[in-house]
Amino acid sequence: MSEAIVITSDSACDLSEDLVDKYNVKIIPLHVSIGDKDYKDCVDLMPDDIYGIYDKTGLLPKTSATNVLEYVKFFKQFTAKGCSVIHISLSSQVSCVYQNATLAASELSNVYVLDSLNLSTGIGLLVIKACEMRDSGLTASDIVKNLEKLIPCVNTSFVVDSLEFLHKGGRCSSITVVGANILHIKPCIEVLEGNMRLVKKYRGKLKNAIYNYVQERLKTTTDIDYSRIFITHSGVDGDIIEMVKNIIKENFIFKEILVTRAGCAVTSHCGPNTLGILFVKDIKDN
């Protein structure tokens, strides 16, 4: 009998409900706190709620890790049925969820925890790849080995409309914010080795910045795996999303273009009108 494998992730993977259902992924929510109130990401609190609360109170949400006991309970519901679990975690460089999930896994059998070194649908890309491998009949150990090779190949970046939320979260200085506003700078943030890094600055209106970002990002990247690409955003106007889709359709050969809304983790750090394209590069065999 083939091995029963459950693919899990945390809510930071930003997969839509349709994709979660399609690939039979099990999600554990992160915690989001605002003031003295604690919420579960995309269960008790949705991304648009963050903007409303911030506008009224000036309070910015803080994401916090799922604790070890929560992970043990989450994994046990699958291991108790004899399933192996492959959990793909939010980057260890931005949260302690990987550490907590690893501690929980050490108390159980057949639970594999992988550090995605990524966030948002950068994790989601790995999750979908894991599900495809599961459905093709690979063993849990082989899936894990393949994912470990794939993790460095995920290309994750975003263009941020305003530095306000990043500043409030302590990720940039007041001087940087003022300068960006005066010069109409739209920063491009890339995930490198699990951390968010400023890699480029675009000037001008958001739509033009995103147009240039998408063109440059895809045309200057080699060895792309064209199976799918995510357009992930935190509430960008529909015409900008359509523009991005058209750029991709007209100039590149992705088999699947998936549009998803960023969850509370990305939203609380980057704020409104953030948009990114996320894809995978081909694995280079040594």
What is the rounded average pLDDT of the residues 63-79?
95
State the Cα–Cα distance between residues 117 and 111, nearest whole angstrom: 19
Pair 153, 161: CB distance under 8 Å: no
Query: pLDDT for 179-209, tens place per residue?
Result: 455 446 898 989 999 998 888 889 889 999 9
3-state helix, strand, coil in the chain (%, to 5): 40, 25, 30
Say if residue 76's pLDDT is above 70: yes
Supply the pLDDT for residue 135.
97
CATH assignment, 154-281: 3.30.1180.10
Tell me how far apart the alpha carbons of residues 155 and 122 are, in angstroms, rounded to a whole number: 7
Span 107-164, pLDDT tens digits: 999 999 999 999 999 999 999 999 999 999 999 999 999 999 999 999 999 999 876 6
User: Residue 55's pLDDT band (boundaries 50, 70, 90)?
Assistant: confident
Residues contacting residue 45 through CB under 8 Å, at least 6 positions apart: 32, 34, 39, 61, 264
33 pLDDT band, cuts 50/70/90, is: confident
Judged against a pLDDT cut of 80, whether residue 72 lies above it is answered with yes
Average of per-residue pLDDT values in the chain: 90
* Better-scored residue on pLDDT, 178 or 18: 18
Predicted pLDDT at 21: 98
Q: Is the pLDDT at 177 greater than 50, yes or no?
A: no
Find the mean pLDDT for residues 213-232. Answer: 96
Average of per-residue pLDDT across 49-59: 85
Q: At 37, is the pLDDT very low, low, confident or very high (cuts 50, 70, 90)?
A: confident
- Convert 228-244 to b/e letters by CB count within 10 Å (16 or more is b): bbbbbbbbbeeebeebb
pLDDT at 60 over 60: yes
Q: What is the CATH number of domain 5-151?
A: 3.40.50.10170
Percent pLDDT > 70 in the chain is 91
Q: How far apart are CA 41 and CA 55, in angstroms?
A: 19
Q: How far apart are the first and last CA of the chain?
A: 34
Which residue from 257, 214, 283 is spatially nearest to 121, judged by alpha carbons? 257
Question: What is the arithmetic mean of pLDDT over 88-98?
Answer: 95
68/75 Cα distance (integer angstroms) = 11
| Per-residue pLDDT, 270 | 77
Q: What residues does each domain of the chain span?
A: 5-151, 154-281
Please answer whether residues 236 and 213 qualify as being in contact, where contact means their C-beta atoms are separated by less than 8 angstroms.
no
Q: What are phi and psi of 279, to 5 degrees?
A: -155, 180
